[in-house]
Amino acid sequence: MHVSRFLSARRSLCLVACAAAFLTPALGAREAQPAAQPLPAAVEAALQRAKVPREALAAVVIDVEGAKPRLSLQGDVPANPASVMKLVTTYAALEMLGPAFTWETPVYLDAQPQGGSLRGNVYIKGQGDPRLVVERLWLLMRRLRAQGISVIVGDIVLDRSAFAVPAHDAALFDGEPWRPYNVAPDALLLNFKSLTLGFVPDEAAGVARVSHEPPLAQLELPDSVPLAPAGTACGDWRAGLRADFTQASRLALAGSYPAACGERQWNVAPADPQGYAARAIEGMWRELGGKLTGQVRDGRVPAGLAPAFSTTSPALAEVVRDINKYSNNVMTQQLFLTLALQRTGQGSPQAARDVLGRWWDERVGLPGTLVVDNGAGLSREARISARALARMLQLAWASPVMPEFVSSMPIMGVDGTLRRRPGQASGTAHLKTGTLRDVTAIAGYVLGASGRRHVLVAIVNHPNAPAARPALDALVDWARRDTEK
């Protein structure tokens, strides 16, 4: 994802000046960072192989309770952290909301069911639940049927007023609006506004059977695609399907599927994301045998109407684990807006930035070192310094929510986004990764061979940043080998 735009000159100058001015007891007074400060040899060599200058790397390694960094390079330079920004949002949420916080999605009826019919409307009020996935949508619709309703002689009304989200162009960031990471937050976010396509080869019939979840009303999909010629390697099977995601009412697959791929799934965000919730709810209601004489539409819950029932999300600690292990952007933005909803009564991006900014200034104590943008790091505007993030990670280590926060991060070589990045720190480092086209970053905690635990933050902002990933892995290995002189 191309990072082609930077902060305005005024904002950049302000950030550099503010970052240069602060002193923090935990990190020690800001000392001069000479250009010749040595990097570990393996890190230096990996940067050279990637054709990335050392000035593009901002890094801090420090004991979790230390005052003097073991390594500090460009520590005060504001940098784009990509998805590492999720650490700020999730830690702030754990502290402000508590690990046991849950989201409620209440359902209202404005009439009493009689003889299996509801002659009135059903209202579903979204309040930001980031994990109202297909299985929980199925349960919600089952509970609605359990109210004694088979036929709704009226409408299903979706109240999404809890969030005030501006119009969103899913293609704006990278021109790929069908990718689920590009969907916008929504007070009634269902299944991440995504559709899971399943492909199962049937060689006898010469086709791959196609399934999809959840069922979406008014969406036409093929039930099979031809198999590719015998012997075709799996390769880039998605490209071979020649999918067309541009139409709201039809998803076309004009290509073929290699039998060598076996059973596969493909998560996509269909066109018309604003209408996704209505189509998913109507589709699931009809799938369960329910009938609807009206429509599914947006609206507000009438004042004074009491909920018939409510569905409750998993606890925040579990949600934060999903966010950080798998770097889920829209879940992070849901959480970001929830901070504003809980503090101000409505979740808007600016209110969320204000809430998180105040928390940062008061809790971390480093004003002017954070530009949070949307809270998820899927941004060209977000900025943080390595030193400021390291300071936050030290504070988090001493926080009551430390166990939930640390366990939410991928374990190197074991799970999440680090499952396929083994190294000398495999099984001993909890680290969040971040990647954009011009950014690669990693931050979290490394248990040294000495038994001491270290905070590690490393951010590369450079056109060749993806090639510098081995340099960050080498830095993690170096932090692990903390018995070296």
Cα distances (Å, whole numbers) of residue 315 to 93, 101, 318:
12, 6, 6
Each residue's pLDDT expressed in tens, for the chain with a length of 485 residues: 433 333 333 333 333 333 333 333 333 334 444 444 589 999 999 999 999 999 999 999 999 999 999 999 999 999 999 999 999 999 999 999 999 999 999 999 999 999 999 999 999 999 999 999 999 999 999 999 999 999 999 999 999 999 999 886 766 666 676 687 788 999 999 999 999 999 999 999 999 999 999 999 999 999 999 999 999 999 999 999 999 998 888 999 999 999 999 999 999 998 889 999 999 999 999 999 999 999 999 999 999 999 999 999 999 999 999 999 999 999 999 999 999 999 999 899 999 999 999 999 999 999 989 999 999 999 999 999 999 999 999 999 999 999 999 999 999 999 999 999 999 999 999 999 999 999 999 999 999 999 999 999 999 999 999 999 999 999 999 999 998 65
Describe the crossing of helices 349-359 and 329-344 by its angle, rounded to 10 degrees: 80
How far is residue 12's CA from residue 83's CA, in Å, rounded to a whole number? 20
Q: Which helix (H) or strand (E) holds 43?
A: helix 41-50
Q: Using alpha carbons, select from 266, 204, 205, 216 the residue that is nearest to residue 241.
A: 266
How far is residue 481's CA from residue 485's CA, in Å, rounded to a whole number? 10
Token digits of residue 97:
């909301």
Beta strands in 373-428 (DSSP E): 383-384
Q: Using alpha carbons, select from 82, 60, 54, 75 the residue that is nearest to residue 454.
A: 60
In this prediction the pTM is 0.89
Residues in the chain: 485
Give the strand order in the sheet containing 453-461: 71-73, 57-63, 453-461, 439-447, 429-436
